[in-house]
A and B are shown apart, each in its own frame.
Chain A
Amino acid sequence: MVRLITHNLLACHAKNCTQTKGFPLAFNDVRVETKEAEFNADFLKSFYERKIDWDALVGAAKQLGDTSLPLERPEMVDDDFLQLLHHVLLEIHVEEGEMICPNCKHVYKIRDGIPNMLLAEHEIG
């Protein structure tokens, strides 16, 4: 777990970081697993059209060694593209490692696929 869909939604939320400054988190020292996921076109489309941060997804996939996505966000959503999106968003799992805030450098550890997004006492506003 820590699929790229989740990575695409998590921003550093420490004091003085914002949803733009503290995003996207950078992967470091990761162990990645690929697991088959359930394909649901509506789910993917809705996420792609409404919520995705394309550059963050492309960047994160690249950090994990997947360069299958086009750099430019495609306008046309066809079946082939949805399959690609499905794989990158849902089938790549980061099981161990870290996510580092680009702004404050807070290190969010990932253990057994669960990221620890808790803030330390001095980081809460």
Chain B
Amino acid sequence: METRDWSLVVFTVLTQAAVGAFLTLQVLEYLAARRGPGESGRATDNPRDSSPASAGAQGGEPEAGNARESGRAMASAAPAGRRTPAPLLVVLAVLSAGLFAALFHLSTPLQAARAVVNFSSSWLSREIVFGSLFAALLGALVAQEWRAASSEAVGSVQGRRAPTPGTASPPEGRRRIGPEPANPTSQAPATWLHRLTAAAGLAFLGCQTAIYLLPAQPAWNSFATPAGFGGTALRLGILGVAAGLVVRSLTAGVDEPAQADPIGGGGTSAAPLRGLALAGIAALALEFVVVPLHLASLAANPLPAAAASVERLTGDYGGVLVLRLGLLGAAAAALGGVLAISRRPFAPARPTGSSAQRLAFPLTCGAFALTAASEVCGRFLFYAMQVRVGI
């Protein structure tokens, strides 16, 4: 692999992680919205909250309500209902870093704008167009979230200044853990902008994959390329969101103890993290199916170039392949630990977090770091196994 191809390793891994994380957030948002406000049932000790959501909460179904709240917390990046553009901003930063890295693959980066000229036939042109569109739409969503968060903050301050007649203040030392009073604009689960952004992200991923489906490159011209690129997006997207969620739960815990556990939404459940861990394990397992099938299909290919690719993967770079799979296995084990500690509802959060919550941090973030390292190894192998047909 040429040195300059490392820029493509960085580019593809980061941008696929960004697409995966955005889609994961949207799926969580969708799942949260499906439960509906009527099922929003996480226990709240805020008697001020007379919204239908909290009304439903009083009636039970804490698990469903908790999942809804945590889902929205992740999707909007806010623990316990407060909106913030932070997660989408992180996704945008990762995407931008990836797009920037791609420039270093060009001999003349100053002419990079020309890369979109051949949109009619070049998958790379299409990739750049859809990648830029994805980034622009993501930027618009960040701006939208920012405005929504600002207006919520203003509304929250005004609400505190003028409590609703007939309601009491929250007990000393406890803050509200239920959702903020409904804001139809900010809580819209999926606007046309979200859908458009998701479509642009998928188109970007599709074009990125199609670039490598070249008949001249048997190792790339395979099911393993879409499976590998899509798998990277899934793995890093799911685990990135899970890690962000856990990190946020700890950072939010100091001054807002009741909100410190968005995993369980104030210490009642660990269902969302558990769901992400399960999905993450499935996405990690995908690679253990793809790699052997890819090697088998290359071995069965009569082209000498295919055999040469197998030789590279199992010979020269066999150690990297073992390392990649080993890292994925370790990540899966860490996620197994997350499943184990989230089997039962987390204990009510303390200012420093519950013990399960504290354990969730190294396990989830460790799984993400191991997977990220593995994806870099995998993408290195992707470029290193390239052997052209012919002589």
Q: Are A and B co-members of a single complex?
A: no
